[in-house]
Structure 1
Amino acid sequence: MKTLKAIIIVLVFIALVNVSHAQTYLGDNTTSLENLQKTTSLFNIVASQNVPPADVNNSIRVQQIGNNNTSFSSTTSNYSDISLSQLGNSNDIYLNVSANRISEDVIQVGNNHNFIDMDNAGRQNHSANILQFGTNQNLILLGGQNSISNNMIVSMQGKNQTIIVRNLNN
């Protein structure tokens, strides 16, 4: 019984000594803290670069995931909010638009999509929401907008489709 008691006391002593040793270990805490401070300051620098100026009214956001995707945008406007997303391979977007206010969202999911939007008439508003989902889809918008095509939403799903919308007499 005395040996069992002695073994328990020794085990408790060893356990307590290890815990106290672990709590007093200093190690490289200062360098870890310095690295954390450097990383935090880098995040602050990157975040400050992503804040747009308050007086800018024109924005174009391009997101491309895949290979051989191209986006070309030539716009003239007082206000524009354009979002171009390409998820896939060999997708093309061509925008040549002139209007007072431009609002356009284009999403291409899949491969070999083409979207062309040409409107240089200088209208008050130009807006479009385009979704191409599938393979080998072509959409061409020419010549502006009227009451029928204003705020048009085009959703193409499948493969090997072509749509041409012409508004030549507005």
Structure 2
Amino acid sequence: MTGQRLGYVRVSTLDQNTARQLDGVDVDQVFADKASGKDVNRPELERMIDFARDGDTVLVHSMDRLARNLDDLRAIVRRLTEKKVRVEFVKEQLTFTGDDNAMATLLLNVMGAFAEFERSLIRERQREGINLAKQRGAYRGRTPSLDAKSATELREKAAAGVPKAALARHYGISRETVYTYLRAE
């Protein structure tokens, strides 16, 4: 291999540390995202895919660091291998080149399905925990971003034609939260 060795690491929250994922693995450059694996909007992943060239190798600690959804995993691996970039998963000791045989394709699908299954189990346990906490009266949910007065004000400004992005900036919330308040009328 004559290309660069590019590392990709991902953690779900800002307070988690990415250092252990490729510890001891020789890489020329690391791209690190702090975002959920279910989130397809990961700037460093896109930057790495754009940066990778024919002959490069992308090293990822494990499949679930690249994607938590089988379709996304296959799409990302395909995007890279179509550029003649090798994809290596350190933990699973699997390598994909685009010229993969039936066994490699099967392993990608099976291991990716397990990552997706694991994510589903996590969500299921989380829902169960929240339901139990609600029954005990210990769970009150997330506090609203805006008080009732601000929410009414936001709706009035939106009705008057103020752009949603401007409203989001003014109230210090995301545009999606703006739309959530507008739908709740």
TM-score, normalization: structure 1? 0.23
Name whichever structure is richer in helix by fraction.
2
TM-score, normalization: structure 2? 0.22
**Structure possessing the higher relative contact order (Cα contacts under 8 Å, 6 or more residues apart):** 2
